[in-house]
A and B are shown apart, each in its own frame.
Chain A
Amino acid sequence: MDLLLLGAISMASFIAGLFFLRFWRDTQDRLFLLFAISFLIEGINRAALGLSGNPDEGRPFFYFVRFLSFLLIIIAIVQKNVTKRRNP
C-alpha cells in the first residue's frame, strides 16, 4: 500500500512539475521554473523511495533531496522579492 501511495505521489509531482514548466513558458517568471525543478526532483525522490525495497526516509539521500527541493522553492521566493525593479 505504501509503495502504491509513493508511486502515486511521485507521478503527481512529475505532472505538477510539467505544468509548472508550462507556466514558466507562458509567463517567463523564474519562480515557475524553480517550482518545476523542485516538484520534478521530489517526483524522483518519491520514486527512489519506492524503488528502494524498504522505504526509509531516515536515510541521508532522501532527506537531502527533499531538503533540496524545498530549498529551491525558498530560493524562488527570495529571488522574487529581491530582484531590482526595471523602472525606478
Chain B
Amino acid sequence: MAPIFYGLCTLAALFCAILLLRAYFPSRYKLLLWGGICFLGLTLNNALLVVDKIIFPEEKLFFLGVDFIIWRLLAALIGMLVLLYGIIFEAE
C-alpha cells in the first residue's frame, strides 16, 4: 500500500515542479524557479522512498557508505531550504 501512495505523491510533486518551471521560463520570476526546484526535491524524496520500500523492502539500503534514508531526507530538506530562500529573498 505504501509504495502506491508514495508513488502518487511522487507524481503530484513532479507535476507541480513542471508547472512552476514551465512558468519560470517566460516570466523569469525567480520564485518560480526555486519553487520548481523545491518540488523536484520533494519528487526525489518520495521517489527514493518508493525505491526503498518496493525494490528493497527488507534490506537497509546504503549509498556511498551512508544510510539511504539520509539521502532521501536530504533531498527534501534541500528542496525546502531552496523554497524558503526563494520566498524570503525573491518573493517581492
Q: Do chains A and B touch in the complex (CB under 8 A)?
A: yes
- Once A70-B9, A73-B16, A74-B12 are accepted as A-B contacts, the answer to whether A5 and B2 lie under 8 Å apart by CB is no
- Once A8-B77, A12-B80, A15-B84 are accepted as A-B contacts, the answer to whether A2 and B70 lie under 8 Å apart by CB is yes
Question: In the docked arrangement, what's the CA distance between A8 and B41, Å?
Answer: 15
A residues 37-60 touching B (CB-CB < 8 Å):
55, 57-60
Cβ-defined contact, A57 with B12, below 8 A: no
Cβ-defined contact, B83 with A63, below 8 A: no
Q: How far is the CB of A45 from chain B (nearest CB, A)?
A: 11
Cβ-defined contact, B13 with A12, below 8 A: no
Q: How many A residues face the partner with a CB closer than 8 A? A: 26
Cβ-defined contact, A73 with B70, below 8 A: no
Number of A-B contacts (CB under 8 A): 65
* CB-nearest residue of chain B to A64: B5
Chain B contact residues: helix, strand, loop or mixed: helix
Question: In the docked arrangement, what's the CA distance between A58 and B9, Å?
Answer: 14
* CB-nearest residue of chain B to A69: B9
**Residues of B with Cβ closer than 8 Å to A?**
1-2, 5-6, 8-9, 12-13, 15-16, 19, 46, 49, 53, 67, 69-70, 73-74, 76-77, 80-81, 83-84, 87, 91
